[in-house]
Chain A
Amino acid sequence: MAVDLEPKRLTQPNRPQSPQILVIGYGNTLRSDDGVGYRIAETVSSWRLQGIEGWPCQQLTPELAAAIAPVQQVIFVDAAIATSTTVPLVTCKRLQPDSDSTFTTHTAIPAALLGLTQWLYEVAPIAHQLAIPAVNFDLGETLSPIAQVGQTQALEQLKGLCQNVSFFERSCS
């Protein structure tokens, strides 16, 4: 079946009450450090601050595109395997929409979700990814000391974002 590579555009979802900043933290809270992103998004949600919303979820799924499309900025928070023996730091990088990645459920990456948002709604917000250092992915509900440090750092960065978007931008560069 031939594929029309020039997609027909779709209408952006109308969400008048959407936050300016959406923090999507994802991972499995039964798998120790894997759940650190989920916990961070839960904490952000508990702040109940105007303009910023925490969205904890176990996986990135396609319908998140509809939640992402109306916001100004989205921050994905996930665990990342620590690669250094020294105490690793939270890393932050700017994301661009990617329409070449295979979009699945367990293997979805934020850039692919942004790409999906771009294709569906002709818009993709400014996006960053916070990677929290993690070392333990065994069954368990507690964070390793390294992940706990990362969690604290990440929350400080996100608090900074609430106060000053440009500060957060500089810290991610």
Chain B
Amino acid sequence: MSKTIVIDPVTRIEGHAKISVFLNEAGAVDQAQFHVVEYRGFEKFCEGRPFTEMAGITARICGICPVSHLICSAKTGDKILGVNIPIAADKLRRLMNLAQITQSHALSFFHLSSPDLLLGWDSDPAKRNIFGLIAADPDLARAGIRLRQFGQRIIEILGGRKIHAAWTVPGGVRSPLDETGRRWIIERLPESFNTIHQALDIFKRLITGPMQEEVKVFGEFPSLFMSLVSPEGEWEHYGGHLRFTDSEGNVVADGLSEDHYSDFLGEAVEDWSYLKFPYYKARGYPDGIYRVGPLARLNTCDRIGTTAGDQELQAFRDYAGGIPTSSFLYHYARLIEILACLEKIQALMDDPDLSSTRVRAEAGVNVLNGIGVSEAPRGTLFHHYQVDDDGLIKKVNLIIATGHNNLAMNKTITQIAQHYIHGEDIPEGFLNRVEAGIRCYDPCLSCSTHAIGQMPLHIRLVKPDGTLAHEIYRH
């Protein structure tokens, strides 16, 4: 008898979702689906607003990664103004994005994923959380908090507030980095370096020790990878161009401009999820599956361009014996990226351009169609605005990182379910693994309402005739 297992909603990810696992007549897993059950509708909400407000509006989509939307929106605004922004503004935006990647990755690793990684899948669910981590390693937990604080504080120094800082604007930024802020950043850098080196050591021990199986099972499959790279092929998070590579490291497409994203990216729709399924057009749907985010950025680039970052990138590739293709290694990639971000932040501290007062290009509406791109912590982010002569928004399309990874997330949970489900027994450890498989991608789904109340874990076993076979709640 075939059955459906529904995990609803997934915990410890940004937003709401549920997972259905379909069993065949033999009791083996046939397919798994990752449903996004909340419609966002932000695009429609933005119509009629001045394009200059878009940075502030889209930043409020998410309290965890507002800077990503601020920067991408500002880049789109630059296109509508038709300006090249001052070099100081370019570097200051980069500094804020590096801080954003640092704080977001720190939250993902130390607070959302470490409880699973360090306490084990079969540990008491009531203790497998940040409190359990504190009990096991309070110094690491505190260091993680301070690393996230470091990134948040840089954002606050630049923007005047931690979230929704309307500092990045079309044409540039509002103000340079002041000397007090620069000194604070320099002072806190050594501690941040120390924390990330510790985390890297811990994670390397895990994947060569107790977590070897997870590397093989959590989304280990070939796919394309997409991200920005610099003109020299280096790791990039803000400028440059788009590149696709495959699992053997071959460059599939290079020098792609965001201005023509609809030529190479298709967006499929399935009736069981509000989240679209982007794919690489040249390979069709669903064969054009690709991944974005930390793993993709490390796989598409020739090198990072920093000393320690490049050493770790080489170790990463040596560990995998080539191009790392397991989604479990997103965690590893996240840590390497934090290290690279810290090095790049350190390098910027010596750059006199950051204190320049020429930080904004002024212009009116010169172009009615603008497309911006940047690398959010979770992957490539596109903003596409069409405006009228007064700069009022006529149409908006946002392609977010989690959308790019939609096909890959579905493939990952199918692989995990096929490996761990045999018959009708569904142990606690399995549920944790499926959720953790999704968390590898650190998805951000809705970032929306947040009224008082806890998000329960709801699991349903449904018979083929639609009747309920079994139901479990985990609060």
Q: In the complex, A22→B129 CA distance in Å? A: 26
Task: Report the minimum CB–CB distance from A43 to chain B (whole Å).
Answer: 16
Residue pair A119, B134 in contact (C-beta under 8 Å): yes
Residue pair A61, B107 in contact (C-beta under 8 Å): yes
Task: Report the minimum CB–CB distance from B447 to chain A (whole Å).
Answer: 7
Q: List residues of chain A with CB within 8 A of the CB of B126.
A: 100
Contact with B along A36-62 (1 / 0, CB 8 A): 000000000000000000000111011
Task: Report the minimum CB–CB distance from B70 to chain A (whole Å).
Answer: 14
B residues 414-458 touching A (CB-CB < 8 Å): 447-455
Which listed residue, A5, A102, A105, A115, touches B64 by the CB 8 Å rule? A105
B264 at the interface (CB under 8 A from A): no
Residue pair A10, B138 in contact (C-beta under 8 Å): yes
B463 at the interface (CB under 8 A from A): no
Residue pair B141, A120 in contact (C-beta under 8 Å): yes
Residue pair B450, A58 in contact (C-beta under 8 Å): yes
Q: Which residue of A lies closest to B127 (CB)?
A: A3
B144-152, B294-302, B313-321: which lies at the interface: B144-152
Contact with B along A51-83 (1 / 0, CB 8 A): 000000111011101100000000000111100
B383 at the interface (CB under 8 A from A): no
Q: List residues of chain A with CB within 8 A of the CB of B148.
A: 61-63
Q: In the complex, A29→B429 CA distance in Å? A: 37
B11-19, B180-188, B189-197, B373-381: which lies at the interface: B11-19
Q: List residues of chain A with CB within 8 A of the CB of B164.
A: 58
B136 at the interface (CB under 8 A from A): yes
B residues 71-93 touching A (CB-CB < 8 Å): none
Q: Which residue of B lies closest to A139 (CB)?
A: B45
Measured as residues with beta carbon below 8 angstroms from the partner, the interface class of chain A is 35 or more
Main secondary structure of the interface of A (DSSP, over half): loop
Known: A30-B45, A30-B60, A104-B12. A4 touches B451 (CB 8 A): no
Known: A7-B135, A59-B63, A63-B148. A28 touches B452 (CB 8 A): no
Residue pair A137, B451 in contact (C-beta under 8 Å): yes
Q: In the complex, A31→B447 CA distance in Å? A: 10
B111 at the interface (CB under 8 A from A): yes
Residue pair A134, B45 in contact (C-beta under 8 Å): no
Contact with B along A90-120 (1 / 0, CB 8 A): 0000000001111111110100000110011
Q: Which residue of A lies closest to B163 (CB)?
A: A58
Known: A102-B11, A139-B42. A28 touches B448 (CB 8 A): yes
A27 at the interface (CB under 8 A from B): yes
Known: A1-B120, A109-B454, A137-B451. A7 touches B14 (CB 8 A): no
Q: In the complex, A63→B274 CA distance in Å? A: 32
Residue pair A57, B142 in contact (C-beta under 8 Å): no
Which listed residue, A58, A79, A105, A119, touches B451 by the CB 8 Å rule? A79
Which listed residue, A3, A8, A26, touches B450 by the CB 8 Å rule? A26
B112 at the interface (CB under 8 A from A): yes
Task: Report the minimum CB–CB distance from B388 to chain A (whole Å).
Answer: 22
**Interchain residue pairs A-B with the least CB separation, the first 4:** A58-B63, A103-B130, A107-B455, A59-B63
19 A-B interface contacts by CB (under 8 A): A1-B123, A3-B123, A3-B127, A9-B138, A57-B163, A58-B164, A58-B450, A65-B145, A66-B145, A78-B451, A81-B452, A104-B12, A105-B63, A106-B455, A107-B454, A109-B452, A109-B454, A120-B141, A137-B449
